[in-house]
Amino acid sequence: MLRTEDTNETSGLSPDERTRLAIEQAATEVRALTAIKGRKLKSAVVTFGCQMNARDSEKLRGILESAGFIDTDSEEEADFILYNTCTVRENADQHVYGRLGILTGLKKKRPDLIVGLCGCMMQEPHVVAKIRKSYPVVDLIFGTHNLFTFPELLAKILREKKRVIELWDGTDSIVENLPVKRKYAFKSGVNIMFGCNNFCSYCIVPYVRGRERSRLDTDILAEVRALAADGVKEIMLLGQNVNSYGKTLSQGTSFPQLLAKVAETDGIERVRFMTSHPKDLSDELIDVIASHEKICRHFHLPVQSGSTRILGMMNRHYTRETYLSLIEKIRAAVPEISLTTDIIVGFPGETEGDFQDTLSLVREVGFDSAFTFLYSKRTGTPAAEREDQVPPDVAHERFERLLAAVKETGEAASSRFLGRVMDVLVEEQNKDPRLMSGRISQNITVHFPGDKSLIGSIRPVHLTESKGFYYFGELA
């Protein structure tokens, strides 16, 4: 289970006690370095990838802050830089390698800079071998399964000042109560489960995130209540496939039951979730969404392809027809729902006929928006071994046609609220400082005149102009 060069064993302590002790040890080292440098140390955590990674990064920032670092977005100013990596697609890997090249130059100017890598990319042995050999700039490597050991690894590298690599092949552990530094005071992600059991033929996630394991609903609800007490108004429940929540537990709580309990929590005004797998989407879940106004009217339901033949090759366990039936049920129960999806173009073996099926499904459903991707070969997945890879020029040409179809249907779908007054959770100041930006329940962005005092509040906004995938408006 453990693949490591350096470990720090603290036997006989609970996970909470180990975390507290390690943070205290790291804080001691940070205070010593602060005295030497005559200033506070700064840390930068850079996130690549999904909402799960973003939530992990909030934990990493919380640990660093607890140890005495000041958080910064500037890698130029940071004394410790940590990249939380993604490996869902090849371009994510290449992005990290490019950034490491830049850090190599930065470290020549500042030899005491500490560079760390964690996240999904680090769970691939060939990637770690490449980094060990070609990127001496990297001082610390750990993976998704042992993120909770970061306090111990941080203390170790600050104390010993030599490369630390600790990677686990898997884990059954779920460690609670890690420090968290949230990006937003008024909204937060909450992990309800980790890992994935689906093994879609193109996807590396089950290999780097591990098998499904669900948190106890009592722990989840305690976290939600604590967030509500801290001023959080919007919760996003996170999992690789939230619809299968609870299957690894003996308590019998399903995702719809958990979702209802979260929606009933005092102080929470909005609840979102991501991501749902169509094969596990139940009528019970649709009924819960319809019956709770706090559950946002937005459903992200990845389809990946409109071709039943390709869906079978992808190991998705549903057909085009069953997907369309689910969409029909959702819209019948929640008429104002916003529907978004993920689509892959150029999966091995995809024909023009298969692609036409995808285009026709996009037009039939009329998604509000879609995340569209060119198929990316991932080493170790069944799809990567197929000999019928689609030529890049063919895939790119289809991708452009898909983008045009998504733009056409998305602009029509997203403009349907024009002229209405909708509640907007105000999130931030726009690049234009005269405007504030936020989201309606349907997860569509709205820009309107206002000031920073509105941030974190939910305000009625008259939607006066549609720009396809977003609106301009005025406070009502």
DSSP class per residue in 99-122:
HHHHHHHHHHH-TT-EEEEEEGGG
**Is there a contact between 307 and 274 (Cβ–Cβ < 8 Å)?**
no
What pLDDT is recorded for position 10? 56
Q: Tell me what the pLDDT averaged over the chain comes to.
A: 94
Residues 145-172, mean pLDDT to the nearest whole number: 93
Q: Which CATH architecture has domain 2-168?
A: 3-Layer(aba) Sandwich (3.40)
pLDDT of 210 over the 50 cut: yes
pLDDT tens for residues 331-349?
999 999 999 999 999 999 9
Q: Tell me the CATH number for domain 187-414.
A: 3.80.30.20
What pLDDT is recorded for position 468? 84
Residue ranges of domains in the chain: 2-168, 187-414, 418-475
Could you check whether 2-168 and 187-414 share the same CATH topology? no
User: Residue 464: which pLDDT band, with cuts at 50, 70 and 90?
Assistant: very high
| Closest residue by Cα to residue 210 from 81, 120, 322, 97 | 120
CA distance 40 to 68: 8
pLDDT tens for residues 29-82?
999 999 999 999 999 999 998 888 999 999 999 999 999 999 999 999 999 999
Parallel/antiparallel/unpaired status of strands 80-85 and 2-4: unpaired
What pLDDT is recorded for position 175? 81
Phi, psi of 28 (to 5 degrees): -60, -45
pLDDT of 9 over the 70 cut: no
Parallel/antiparallel/unpaired status of strands 193-194 and 213-214: antiparallel
Residues 154-162, mean pLDDT to the nearest whole number: 94
Tell me whether residue 426 is exposed, middle or buried, using C-beta atoms within 10 angstroms of its C-beta: 0 to 12, 13 to 18, 19 or more. buried
Cβ atoms within 10 A of the Cβ of 200, count? 21
User: Residue 163: which pLDDT band, with cuts at 50, 70 and 90?
Assistant: very high
pLDDT of 3 over the 60 cut: no
3-state SS, residue 186: coil
Distances (CA, A) of 420 to 364, 392, 443, 462: 25, 44, 15, 6
User: Residue 11: which pLDDT band, with cuts at 50, 70 and 90?
Assistant: low
pLDDT of 150 over the 60 cut: yes
pLDDT tens for residues 240-299?
999 999 998 987 899 999 999 999 999 999 999 999 999 999 999 999 999 999 999 999
**Is there a contact between 476 and 462 (Cβ–Cβ < 8 Å)?**
yes
Instruction: Tally helices (H) and strands (E) across the chain.
Output: 13, 20
pLDDT tens for residues 74-109?
999 999 999 999 998 888 889 999 999 999 999 999
Instruction: Look up residue 109 and give its amino acid.
Output: K
**Is there a contact between 149 and 162 (Cβ–Cβ < 8 Å)?**
no
CATH class of 418-475: mainly beta
Helix 255-263 vs helix 283-291: crossing angle, to nearest 10? 10
